Structure 1
Amino acid sequence: MSPQPRSAVGAPLSRVDGRLKVTGRALYAAEHEAKGVLHAVIVDSSVGRGRVTSIDADAAEAQPGVLRVIHHGNAPKLPYRDNPGSNNPPGGRRLRVFQDDKVLFHGQPVAVVVATTLEAAQHGASLVKVRYDAEKPSTDMAAATPDQPTEYARGDADAALRAAAVRLDLTYRMARNHHNPMEPHATVARWDGDRLTVWDKTQWVVGTQTELSTVFGLPLASVRVISPFVGGGFGSGLRCWPHTVVAALAARETGRPVKLVLGRRQQYFGTGFRPAYEYRLRLGSDRRGRLAAAVHEMDAETSSYETFDEAIMLAGQMFYSTPHVGQAYRKVPLDVNTPIWMRGPGFANASFAIESAMDELAHELGVDPIELRLRNEPAEDESNGLPWSTRRLRECYTVGAREFGWDRRDARPRSTRDGELLIGLGMAAAVYDPGRMPARARVRLGADGTAVVEAAASDMGPGTYTSQTQVAADALGLAMRAVDFRLGDSLYPQTPPHGGSMTMASVGTATLDACDKVRRQAVTLAVEDGESPLYGADAEDVVVRGGRLHVRGNPARGETYRSLLARNGLARLEADGSYAGPPEPARHSYFSYGAVFTEVAVDATLGLVRVRRMLGVYDCGRIVSPKLADSQALGGMVGGIGQALLEHTVTDHRDGRIVNANLADYLVPVNADIPDLRAIYLEGEDTRADPLGVKGVGEIVQVGVAAALANAVFHATGRRVRELPITAEALL
């Protein structure tokens, strides 16, 4: 079949759903109204560990409008079957709401008040009296006992380290971060007999569907999850949280639809977070900086009832040529709620340690940081011996250095001033492992020449509606306005989670497959139809543009989809498409790459850090939508600035309470914090990765930012800060 003309993919198009959002017609989870809806407010545990000894709900239930107070003493027992098809951590036992009297962390739901109005539910929740047999929780990672480590080794890292001419022994610490999306997590739940429908804020409608089906013991087909718009997620919506179960339970118990919205404070313990890390890294090299050994020891917090882990080890295994590597990744169980993936999961933290250490080694040896990295570029993935699908880091360095003016950098720390400001330049490399998972999509081409494409994907902001429409429009040969891409409904063909930079490769390939099948159906119909101008033409020579099929090189010989379907009495053509995921066994090592350059100004007296400019250069395969990619890149850089300089969840270890559970005290970047940001994408594609040649952009753009900033701060001040966030106190 002839390659289709490409006019939408690669074009900087505006979001197809943009008008809905700016006019307020895009409905988010809490905005869905069900007839007779009630309001629910969760009562959170005020202790960090122990047991509930009594719940006095009399005062709450006496309030006008309050209908029920549900807790472990009166809630029905729920099946809570195992759910292997979820994003629940594989180790441990997920929280079972209102099933017993145990308190596992501060803020755990211990009751829910259901009322006719939100105000009545809020007031009722304030009147519920809960008594506890409290114990002192364990929330300090430094004082807790880790689990047995997950280990990796090649060569003899300890022996090679001892023999190395240059040795560094460095420890980096990274604070816990919370996602803080603008839209709070919310659920509207409605039962129709034994069928459950929920409108939920989720990054995986299929995952929420499977979780609710197992919790309530329902057939999967009896649960429908709807989530057409997500107001930011950053990973916080990658699993079904307890509040969604609470809403569904309250709806079943009251016999009416129930709406439950987490307050901003509740977001900090009602959903997950990026766990805190302590990362010790020992490097050994020769005098020219060629790495001989690396020993990585990582401790990260998890909950006492589930074992959460993430891809913190991969970067240390493959990023630089290192013959001897040892790794130990230990999870530290604490009396906290379970962490979850957050933008650039694993790699964003690992890169801070690894890329800071490479900068320290470069300074120790008197070598330019880029040159040091070039000297340690691997020819293949040394963790598995596979060739790279693409690895264009050298080009990222070259382009970034040229565009940023790296050659004007004076290598001496604290050598450049602008009045009272100390100026520093820093850089870091970035790597991420974009996910690829099986996905399905469905397309219907109507007799009016328009198409509907459906997939149970999500869009938390990267522009799934738009990018998938671009792929479909080109594959079908239609204008963008003639394609309606629909997502966010578990009734649609199943797709993987909307995270891990996997949506474009996975769902996009399924969309491409479905649309290619429909286009081929139409071409076959035309060339076999004696009344068609295309009768007898070679199907391989027929392309479609603007909804019109024609012979390549002879646009006059052809006809439209509309005329073809009308003449053949067809209301539609339709097909299901699929993507099977990456090949097994893997034939290539598949990563996206980047190089981040940044300039900071540090007040010499106050220690305040301001970011002046930042540039990211990325090897991410084909860029389907440059405008959306820029949105992702700038957002990722902003997130990296937050991780590096501002974000830090603070816990009171006496009772496990999160002290700064609000956007006044948990600091995130605002417009005044953000400098000139720029992203460059290397032209090309990675067809070894997937048929679209794409590698997701969403995660890689945050990886490396924190390290680049820390390295710039060192260059400005001469002081090496190995703990995030970098505060003024650390520089005074």
Structure 2
Amino acid sequence: MSNKYIGQATRRVDGRAKVTGQAKYAAEFQTEDLAYGVVVSSTIAKGKITAIDTSEALALEGVIQVFTHNNVSGLAWFDKSYKDQDSPPGSPFRPLNGPEIKFSQQPIALVVAETFELARYAATLVKVDYETEGPVEVEIRDHLDKAFDPGKGKQGYKKPKNRGNFAKEFAKSDVRFETSYYHGAEHHNPMEMHASTVIYEADDHLTIYDKTQGVFNSQNYVTGIFGLSKKRVRIVSPFVGGAFGSGLRPQYQLFMATLAALELKRSVRVTLTRQQMFSFGHRPATLQKLSLGASQDGTLQALNHAAYSETSRFENYTETIVDWSGAMYKCDNVSYDYKLIAGDLYTPLDMRAPGAATGVYAIECAMDELAYKLRMDPVELRLKNYTEEDANQGKPYSSKELKACFQQGAEKFGWSKRTPEPRSMRDGKTLIGWGMATGMWDAMFVPSRAKAFLSADGKLTVSSGTSDIGTGTYTIMTQIAAETLGMPMEQVTFKLGDSSLPLAYLEGGSATAASVGNAVRITCENIREKLLKLLSRTSYAPLADRPQEDLEFADGKIRLKADPEICISYSDILKQAGENYLEDTSTALPNMLKQMDYARNTHSAVFVEVRVDEDFGTVRVSRMVSAIAGGKILNPKTARSQILGGMVWGISKALEEESQVDSNFGRFMNHNYAEYHIPVNADIPAEMEVIFVEENDDVVNPMGIKGLGEIGVVGVAPAIVNAIFHATGKRIHELPVTLDKIIMEDLVVE
């Protein structure tokens, strides 16, 4: 059969639109009579507004209105605590709902003017008086005594159950150690800033171009707040310039722009500044404590994983931080502890591989420390405690090719040439270190819908209201549709990012490829069945009475397998049957009966080489190999890009990224690209290898897709930290690993 696209390294179908500027983002849609809004942010983190003077701003010609808590009232959500699809337990922050200040840079006013420049200037003229409260609490390590158990958290999260007797077996272990790991807050910092362009139409009908990872979440948010029917609100988001989780929850610019449009009865755009991008959501600062006990042969006897993580005063944000350690390794005596510490900051927000990027960092560094104490190879220790079962759930993995990841990754990297002693590999004054770590993430499948429309000209349009945040969703869905229906990709168009399209969940958690992909497959299979039925109504006798097993769908035709020259095009079938089109809308649902007996995850093995200047402590990652067991790979080209992006982010997490908060003012100080450090080209090694290990899994979903967005970053940071120890002999327990931490004299040298 021709038209084999699944598994092929296909170029992005939206690539040309992006590089030529034809792709439009939320702040680029234009309309007549468009007004511009600029948000005024609070300068304190805790207290209340005692007075707000907007007279100077309103006196400027061209300033239309200034919205504050003094002139905004009567909204539906002020009477109830509306929750979006990604909200944690608690009472979500509601802008302009009173004088109280709950975090620094809280939006306290919106200035709307005829031009953006005028609105921006007028915003500087808004005068605000505050009554501050203190002290401001933002550093979790200063307030461990205030930690509390969150119970059930975000989306039903519940801490895994302890098993065995940790205390007893830890005390009996031949080798044991306790240590802690910390990282501060990190911000998503996508290239495209959050923006909403609200096009106002008659009778309060709105078309909203929003930066979001879920158009239906934004739609529910707007209708819930403003008491509008869904028929009146359409959310459109065809392209997203990066999000990494920041677009899962609707952000406050959507509220501000919609509020202004409805009140003024005209179209309004609100775009946040780079500084304001630091005012909502971030990966939470987290302190983790690990205790490991093992026998002399490396068998884990006892494991305790505790975490203290940040949340806001008004919501309890939870992550699966401690879960991974007891799932990754075989150990009969495991205990967990997970507590939150509320601070005077906005609620944290899911950030690529939430929980795993944090928890796996700690357990994988701890396993490396254990390996050195046992004088074992780090890979050997992991194989010693390898498990085919997630003991947290008491279920076997639906598939787990992690051993192949170890083998293929180590071979490609040349791991066997490593000398185990720290500081034993060098190039002149440059210390060379090799490190490795394991990665793990969930393989999710959520209900999704897709529609297929085959027109009389033989063109296929498939659609779903999902998003493409840069992962290649447009491309892989086109590939699935084209192969399923046997059509050239050039004749297939995939549409997404529109709330008028079939329902899909948020694009997050690496679930989209599996969920929407299977919906696309099903709806295209149904079009095939409809074509076969129409075939019997045509005058094309050579195929009309043939059994289905003798036929194939290829090149936009139904043809005889034994003789492909005997064929009829889909277009001719429709014309002869007197139909202008065929359409189908279908839903993909997880097979819960099949899945309930298995744990479903992706796995990885990451190998890293670092070069550390012995005098100055500077670190350069010089080589990386990431071996991935991620189920069916739909497109090796876009898949590799996903993993490479994760590897780059892992370098960033390990060595550079840190949101520095002022403990007196509760304000993120480095809220810009100049001081929030992320990698540039010079920081990235030329040698970055990605290996996709073959893995077949018919439990996760019929297509065997697991998703790759998150697994690429998990495991990278600990591999780098472990390599730094191998190079220097210094254990660093706080991210990012900056040169000052490396040259400090009081670091433990093993």
Shorter chain as denominator, the TM-score bin is over 0.9
**Equivalent residue number for residue 155 of structure 2:** none
Q: Name the counterpart of 1:686.
A: 697
Residue 274, structure 1, aligned to residue 283, structure 2: yes
Equivalent pair of 1:78/1:99 in contact (CA under 8 Å): no
Q: How far does residue 553 in structure 1 lie from its aligned partner after superposition?
A: 3.0
Deviation at 1:388, TM superposition (A): 1.2
Q: State the shift of 1:665 in Å.
A: 0.5
Report the Cα distance in structure 2 between the residues aligned to 1:85 and 1:650, rounded to whole angstroms.
29
2:73 aligns with 76
| TM-score, structure 2 normalization | 0.95
CA offsets 1:22-63 (integer angstroms, 9 cap, x no match): 110000000011221100000000000111111011111111
Match runs of 1:500-519 below 5 Å: 500-519=509-528
Query: Which of 99, 117, 120 is the aligned partner of 2:118?
Result: 120
**Structure 1 residues 235-250: aligned runs within 5 Å:** 235-250=245-260
Instruction: Answer with 73-82 or 236-245: which moved more.
Output: 73-82
1:435 aligned residue (437, 440, 444): 444
Which whole-Å CA distance do the structure 1 matches of 2:533 and 2:568 have between them?
A: 13
Structure 1 distance, partners of 2:562, 2:428, is 65
Contact 2:450 2:462 in 1 (8 A): yes
The CA deviation at 1:647 is 0.3
Match of 1:197 in 2: 207
Cα shift at 1:401: 0.8
Q: Which amino acid aligns with 1:462?
A: T
Residue by residue over 1:43-102, the C-alpha shift from the partner in whole angstroms, topping out at 9 and shown as x without a partner, is: 00000011111101111111121111100001122111454561111x111111111111
Q: Does 1:211 align with 2:221?
A: yes
The answer to whether the 8 A contact 2:3-2:487 is kept is no
Give the SS at the match of 1:555. coil
Q: Secondary structure at the match of 2:712?
A: coil
State the one-letter code of the partner of 1:428: A
User: The residue matched to 1:41 in structure 2 has which SS?
Assistant: strand
* Aligned partner letter, 2:319: E
What is the rounded CA distance, in whole Å, between the counterparts of 1:553 and 1:158 in structure 2? 69
| Alignment partner, residue 143 of structure 1 | 142
CA, structure 1 residues 542+528, in 2 after alignment: closer, same or farther (shift >3 Å)?
farther
Q: Which deviates more, 147-156 or 680-689?
A: 147-156
Which whole-Å deviations, capped at 9, do the CAs of 1:186-232 have from their partners, x for residues lacking one? 00113332323210000111111111111112223322110000001
Answering whether residue 172 of structure 2 is matched by residue 158 of structure 1, we say no
2:557 to 530, 548, 551: 548
Closer/same/farther in 2, CA of residues 532 and 338 from structure 1, 3 Å limit? farther
Please name the residue that 2:379 is paired with.
Answer: 370
Shift of 1:519: 1.1
Aligned to 1:107: 105
Alignment correspondent of 1:655:
665
Confirm or deny: 8 A CA contact 1:532 1:564 kept in the other structure. no
Query: Residues 649-682 of structure 1: CA distance to partner in whole angstroms, max 9, x if unpaired?
Result: 0011111111100010000000000002110101
Structure 1 residues 383 and 529: alpha-carbon distance in aligned structure 2, compared to 1, 3 A threshold: same
* Unmatched runs of 5 consecutive residues or more in structure 2: 152-158, 744-750
In structure 1, what is the equivalent of residue 240 of structure 2? 230
Q: CA deviation at 1:511?
A: 0.5
The Cα offsets for residues 140-179 of structure 1, whole Å up to 9 and x where unpaired, read as 2122322225543111222221222211101000121111
Q: Which residue of 2 aligns with 1:326?
A: 335
2:395 is paired with a residue whose SS is coil
Counterpart in the other structure of 2:12: 15
- Range that drifts further, 271-280 or 709-718: 271-280
2:390 matched to which residue of 1? Answer: 381
| Alignment partner of 1:338 is 2:347 | yes
| 1:112 partner letter | L
Counterpart among 681, 702, 706 of residue 695 in structure 1:
706
Which residue of structure 1 lines up, in the alignment, with residue 735 of structure 2? 724
SS of the aligned residue for 1:490 comes to coil
1:578 is the counterpart of 2:587: yes
The residue aligned with 2:37 is 40
2:319 maps to: 310
The secondary structure found in structure 1 opposite 2:290 is strand
The question of whether the paired residues in 2 share the 8 Å contact of 1:427 and 1:598 is answered with: yes
User: Alpha carbons of 1:730 and 1:103: their partners in 2 closer, same or farther (altered >3 Å)?
Assistant: same
How far 1:529 moved relative to its partner? 4.1
**Contact 1:83 1:210 survives alignment (8 Å):** no
Distance 1:504 1:532 in 2: 40
Preserved CA contact (<8 Å) 2:150 2:318: no
Map of 2:748 onto structure 1: none
SS of match in other structure, 2:721: helix
Change (3 A) 1:85 1:691: farther
Quote the residue 2:409 is aligned against: 400
Question: Residues 385 and 527 from structure 1, CA distance in 2 versus in 1: closer, same or farther, beyond 3 angstroms?
Answer: farther
For residues 468-493 of structure 1, what are the alpha-carbon distances to aligned partners after superposition, in whole Å with 9 as ceiling and x for unaligned? 00000001100111001000000000
Partner of 2:123, secondary structure, is helix
Aligned-partner Cα distance in 2 for 1:173–1:555? 63
Distance 2:693 2:554 in 1: 28
RMSD in angstroms over aligned alpha carbons?
A: 1.3
Q: Distance in 1 between matches of 2:393 and 2:254?
A: 41
Q: Matches of 2:83 and 2:590 in 1, distance apart?
A: 19
Give the secondary-structure state (helix, strand or coil) at the position aligned to 1:127.
coil
User: What is the match of residue 47 of structure 2?
Assistant: 50
For residues 388 and 370 of structure 2, the distance between their equivalents in structure 1, rounded to whole angstroms, comes to 21
Letter in 1 for 2:439: A
Structural mapping, 1:587-598, within 5 Å: 587-598=597-608
Q: 44-53 or 526-535, which moves further after superposition?
A: 526-535
Structure 2 residue aligned with 1:612: 622
Q: Is the 8 A contact 2:204 2:262 kept in 1?
A: no
Compared with structure 1, are the counterparts of its residues 711 and 73 closer, same or farther at alpha carbon in structure 2 (3 Å cutoff)?
Answer: same
Residue identity opposite 1:46 in structure 2: T
Structure 2 match to 1:87: 86
Q: Which one-letter code corresponds to 1:131 in the other structure?
A: D
Q: Tell me what 2:530 maps to.
A: 521
- Partners of 1:552 and 1:373 lie apart in 2 by 50
| Maintained 8 Å contact 1:82/1:214 | no
User: Of residues 89, 92, 97 in structure 1, which corresponds to 2:95?
Assistant: 97
Q: Deviations over 1:671-696 (max 9, x none)?
A: 00000211010124322111111110
- How far does residue 528 in structure 1 lie from its aligned partner after superposition? 5.7
- Per the TM alignment, residue 591 of structure 1 is displaced from its structure 2 partner at its CA by 0.2
Q: Is the 8 A contact 1:5 1:543 kept in 2?
A: no
Q: Which of 667, 672, 675 is matched with 2:677 structurally?
A: 667
CA distance in 2, matches of 1:379, 1:25: 48
Counterparts in 2 of 1:125 and 1:85: CA distance versus 1, 3 Å: closer
| Residues 181 and 232, structure 1, Cα contact 8 Å, conserved in 2 | yes
* Alpha-carbon separation, structure 2, partners of 1:553 and 1:186: 56
- Report matched runs for 1:405-484 at 5 Å: 405-484=414-493
2:387 partner amino acid: P
Q: Shift of the alpha carbon at 1:556? A: 2.4
Please list every run of at least 4 consecutive aligned residues from structure 1 whose deviation after the TM superposition is greater than 6 angstroms: none
Determine helix, strand or coil for the equivalent of 2:513.
helix
User: How far off its partner does 1:374 sit?
Assistant: 0.4
| SS of equivalent to 2:260 | helix
Q: Which amino acid aligns with 2:86?
A: N
Does the 8 Å CA contact 2:84/2:249 hold for their aligned counterparts? no
How far apart are residue 5 of structure 1 and its match? Answer: 5.4
Aligned to 1:252: 262
Please say which of residues 145-154 and 564-573 is displaced more in the overlay. 145-154
2:725 paired with 1:714: yes
Distance in 2 of aligned mates of 1:5 and 1:508: 20
Partner of 1:560: 569
The 1-side partners of 2:61 and 2:331 are apart by: 69
Alignment CA distance shift 1:541-1:457 (3 Å):
same
Shift of 1:276: 1.0
Amino acid at match of 1:197: T
**In structure 2, how many angstroms separate the alpha carbons of the residues matched to 1:574 and 1:217?**
33
Q: Does 1:624 align with 2:634?
A: yes
Q: Map Cα deviations across residues 329-380 of structure 1 (whole Å, 9 max, x no partner).
A: 1111111111111111111111110100010000000000000000101132
